[in-house]
Structure formats: C-alpha cells, structure tokens
Amino acid sequence: MKGTTAVVRYNAGNIQSVRFALGRLGVEPVVTDDPAALRSADRVIFPGVGEASSAMRYLRERGLDTVIRGLEQPVLGICLGLQLLCASSEENDTECLGVFDERVLRFPPRDKVPHMGWNSISGLSGPLFDGVDEGSHVYFVHGYYATTGPTTTALGEYMVPFSAGLSRANVHAVQFHPEKSGDVGARILSNFLAL
C-alpha cells in the first residue's frame, strides 16, 4: 500500500464514501482531476454514480478520457466507473472509454430497476478477489449492466447474468460498491491497494 492513491474527481464521482473506506484502511487518497497528478499516482480509483453521457462529456472536455485510457499503474473502476471503461452504453447511446470490449445495456423493464441492495457474486478470478469466498454478498445500485466476456472476473445476476467484475492488464473494475460492502468490500479494496 505504499505510494499515492488518486481518486478521479469528475461530475459523477461517489467520492466521499470511497475516501472514508480508504481512510478505514489507513490510506488518505488525493482527490484530483489534474492529469499530471493522475499520471504520477501509484494507483488510481475511478468511482462513479450518475449518468453515462454527461460523465463522458465532462471527461472529454477536460482530456481525462485520454488520461484514463493511457494510465499504466493499477486502476480500479467502481459502478459507473466500470460502465465508462466499457465500449459503449445504452444510456443515452454513449460511446465510452473502450478499455473493455463489453457493452453496457439497460436491465429489462420487467422487474424492479435499478438493481439495488445486496447480491451474491460468483465465478471469481483475478487479484481483486484473492481471499473472497465464492457467493459473497456485495452492495449494488445500478440500472444498467455490462455484458459478460473474456475479461469478466466476477458474475452477478439480476434478471440476466452480468459482469460484476472486469479486468484487463492493469485495469480492474467492479459494478458493485466495495466501499459499501462491509468486510468483503474492504478485502477487495485492500487487494487493489496491494497491487
């Protein structure tokens, strides 16, 4: 956990709860939208709660889309952060960052949307989930979901199976909120901080 942890500040960030969760782990992050600070951090967290097209517009206006795509240190996307790292989102027909090839789709409107509350994750793989039991419960709030594919590292299910975790090279992402997921979430954040 040495070095600096930066949290991307933008108009859809769920920053306070992430800061508090990191603080409980003994980490005081730098919250910034400065490209140089993001590039020089030892790891970067890309949180998010909100709407995809306005978030992407904000990122593009400040050149943060290019910065995030070019980061070489460990990166963790959370919730909307995961969705923005995908190729595209049905939410207002948004082209996203394209780090992952998965597409983001709206849940079928035949049940309660958004998917909100505790749900289990399965098919766990990769370093984020070291020491996390299969079937562990984590906290979700989302009306859109990422499709599954070769970069899926955790599965969730709500009407349809979806990617609860994605990973490619240095970039990892989770659809759920580890900062609100108790001991399981703390373990996942600790695993990320150790990368």
Identified catalytic residue from 115, 142, 172, 177:
177
Question: Which DSSP helix (H) or strand (E) runs through 95?
Answer: strand 94-95
Rounded Cα–Cα distance for residues 34 and 44 (Å): 12
| Catalytic annotation present for 115 | no
Rounded Cα–Cα distance for residues 25 and 68 (Å): 24
| Catalytic annotation present for 86 | no
Identified catalytic residue from 79, 115, 142, 172:
79
**Where are the alpha helices (H) located in the chain, listed in sequence order?**
15-24, 35-40, 52-61, 64-70, 80-84, 182-193
Residues ≥6 apart with Cβ < 8 Å to 175: 79, 82, 83, 140, 142, 145, 146, 156, 162, 163, 164, 165
As annotated, the active-site residues are: 79, 177, 179
